[in-house]
Amino acid sequence: MATTTAPPDLTVQTSEGTVRGTLADGVRTWRGIPYAAPPTGEARLRRPRPVQPWKGTLDAAHYGPVPPQERGLPSMGAGRKTPMDEDCLTINVTAPLHNAPPRPVLVYFYGGAFTIGAASSPAYDGRNLVKHGDVVYVCMNYRLGALGWMDFRRYSTPGRPFDVNVGLADQVAALRWVQRNIAGFGGDPDNVTVFGESAGGMSITALMCVPSAEGFFHRAFVQSSAPATAYGPGLPEKWAGTLMGLMGVREQDAPDALATLSAQRLVEAVGRLTRRVTPESEPGARAVAPVVDGEFLPLHPIDAFRAGKAHRIPLVIGNMFREGALFDRVQDILPTTVERIDTMFARTEPELKDQVLAAYPGYPARRAAVDVGGDAVFWLPSVQVAEAHSAHAPTWSYRFDYAPRMANLLGMGATHAMDVPAVFGNYDDGVGRFLTLAGGRRTAVSVGNRFRGALLRFARTGSPGLWPGYNTGTRTTKIFDSTDRVMLDPHRARREAWNGYRGFR
Instruction: Please name each of the domains of the chain with its CATH number.
Output: 1-313 (3.40.50.1820), 320-392+403-505 (3.40.50.1820)
Q: How far apart are CA 81 and CA 36, in angstroms?
A: 25
Phi and psi angles of residue 101, each rounded to the nearest 5 degrees, phi first: -50, 140
**118 vs 73, 92, 109, 218, CA distance in Å?**
12, 11, 9, 24
pLDDT at 3: 47
Q: How far apart are CA 429 and CA 435, in angstroms?
A: 10
Contacts of 280 (CB under 8 A, 6+ apart): 340, 343
Average pLDDT over residues 67-95: 93
The pLDDT-based confidence of 422 (bands split at 50, 70, 90) is: very high
Average pLDDT over residues 320-336: 95
- Do 278 and 150 meet the contact criterion of CB atoms below 8 Å apart? no
Q: Among 67-81, 238-252, 276-290, where is mean pLDDT lowest?
A: 67-81
The reported pTM is: 0.97
- Do 94 and 28 meet the contact criterion of CB atoms below 8 Å apart? yes
Catalytic residues: 198, 323, 416
| Partners of residue 197 on adjacent β-strands | 223
| Partners of residue 398 on adjacent β-strands | 318, 478
pLDDT at 428: 85
The pLDDT-based confidence of 150 (bands split at 50, 70, 90) is: very high
| Partners of residue 193 on adjacent β-strands | 106, 219
Does residue 2 have a pLDDT over 60?
no
Contacts of 22 (CB under 8 A, 6+ apart): 10, 28, 29, 30, 60, 61
What stretch of H or E contains 366?
Answer: helix 366-374
**327 vs 122, 323, 437, CA distance in Å?**
22, 8, 21
The pLDDT-based confidence of 5 (bands split at 50, 70, 90) is: low
| Partners of residue 59 on adjacent β-strands | 20
pLDDT at 39: 98
Average pLDDT over residues 314-318: 98
Q: How far apart are CA 237 and CA 153, in angstroms?
A: 8
pLDDT at 383: 98
Q: How far apart are CA 376 and CA 351, in angstroms?
A: 15
Q: Among 173-182, 204-213, 265-274, 326-335, where is mean pLDDT lowest?
A: 326-335
